[in-house]
Structure 1
Amino acid sequence: MDTSSKIYIAGHRGMVGSAVWRALEKKGYTNLIGKTSKELDLKDQTKVRSFFETEKPDVVIDAAARVGGILANNDYPYQFIMENMQIQNNLIDEALKADIAKFIFLGSSCIYPKFAPQPLKEEHLLTDTLEPTNEWYAIAKITGVKVCQAIRKQFNKDYVSLMPTNLYGYYDNFDLKTSHVLPAMIRKFHEAKNNNNADVTLWGSGTPMREFLFVDDMAEAVVYAVENELPEFLYNVGSGKDITIKELAETIQKVTGHQGEIVWDSDKPDGTPRKLMDVSKMKKLGWQYSTELQEGIEKTYTWFLENIENIKEVKIEVN
């Protein structure tokens, strides 16, 4: 891939898309395109078609999505399945029609069945029922994976899907009502430290195990997919290592400097006991993560402190 190749990053203002943009710039790519949702409504097929006809990108990276936590998925199931399918279908279909050679579709580990064997392998896709709390988002993403697979099969184009594990890092969502576990803990421990090191109460027992990946590492995986033709249609992207929620809390407590107690509310649910990705396929190709968890948390907390005045206004756009 020539560094002057035109690369369109859908979702370039979000946590993943902005990390991909930084990673490509760092590698010397000079022809990157990004549009906000006000500039280009990805749910509008006609506008997406006009954009591709005008810009003619060589590569499309789809990091755009309607995202949210369990509550949002539960309250707005129609929007989560329909809007995500509209966004990805318009991007994929119009990219195909515009004869764009390379398309990288980004999804989520929630595409895999709730009770799939651990660690999660790519071949576990569509082998059992999904997690009910986010099945609407998951079904949309599964559709994107299968559409890209169909294009590979029928048109022999380099359309590939990358499924990341739990991501965290710069431009994360730190809203306590809608954020994921790691950024929510960073905010909780920070605020408790500033409140005379008040105790921090966390849900469950702390025993479930989770895997986390620093978003800049995810971006490097995307760059790898840009610069190489991957032989299969679907790849997991993660660290391949997990820790207990208790260990995560203790690590974040250490990084933030919180001196109070951690209280586990065992009356609250734990969730799935374990969720770990098998990342052996990407590793075999030559890519693997580089940022250990504590280092990534330290970088994220530094960013959080530098942006704390605007943190409540940090929102993930669909594009």
Structure 2
Amino acid sequence: MKKQITIFTLLVCMTIMSWANNVTVSNVVLNGQNVGNHYSLINYNITWDNSWRTNTNENNYDGCWIFAKFRKINSNNWQHATINYVAPGTAAACGHTQPGGSTITTPSDGKGVFMYRSANGQGTVNWSGVKLRWNYGVDGVADNDSVEIRLFAVEMVYCPQGAFNLGSGGSENYHFRDGLVDTYYPITSEGSINCGPVAGQLYTQGGVFWISGTLPAAYPKGYNAVWCMKYEISQQQYADFLNTIDYAKYINRTTYGGYNMTGTHPNLIPDNPERAVNYIGAEDVLSLLDWSALRPMTELEFEKNL
């Protein structure tokens, strides 16, 4: 469903999504254009079921990763929208509007925002009147351009910072262990880690597939807090991905061939949008994560959080 508004003749797609626990984004409109600083405000409502936040035991919470795609009218070139970031990334600093009971944080790359509960609780969240500042000028959009914009939300879980032990403590091949003694290897910081068959270094049982060297400090080791996707990729999510990439990329991310037709390529509509998508491989997953401005977790992050 599309809605015409008068602010620099924007054609806005009102994207409504329902994945996993019924996360739904609705009433997406653009207003509040500032031609001096070349930004506009993306307005939307969002709701999802089975949300929580706790400060006991796991001390974690869920939330959504929210990002936007746009294209200029008469163009098939979908682009990622740049959301305003000003340190430290709070809604107030970045010019966003967060409803009561919610918190919005923006990463420094401006590729999207995390939105989550600001206090302990559980159940359905329903927030309206959310506003994100889109720096359209940074994305090469002129003040009088006509564009179509779509907003997406992915349910996530926040896993807090903390030390943990790598390794299963079992006898299977290739489990993580100390380099000399077959025992757990402690991760107590994001500092660099020396690897090899030496006491105090990280190694694997069997060691056949392990290369000696150093994991640099920049490599995520699971100690720092991280957001993880709450659910597997749904059919609706994959359809949204295919519908907002150009045809040259599209044909590489589908399993069937095609033939030439005239007209406009139709939007894909899944039969079972809430179900996990199947018949996709590693390259498909990596492509969708790149489209979402997310990354795969490392093996060390996986060991800690799943």
Question: What is the TM-score of this pair, normalised by structure 2?
Answer: 0.25
Task: Pick the structure with more strand per residue.
Answer: 2
Tell me: higher relative CO, structure 1 or 2? Use CA pairs within 8 A at least 6 residues apart: 1
Question: What is the TM-score of this pair, normalised by structure 1?
Answer: 0.24
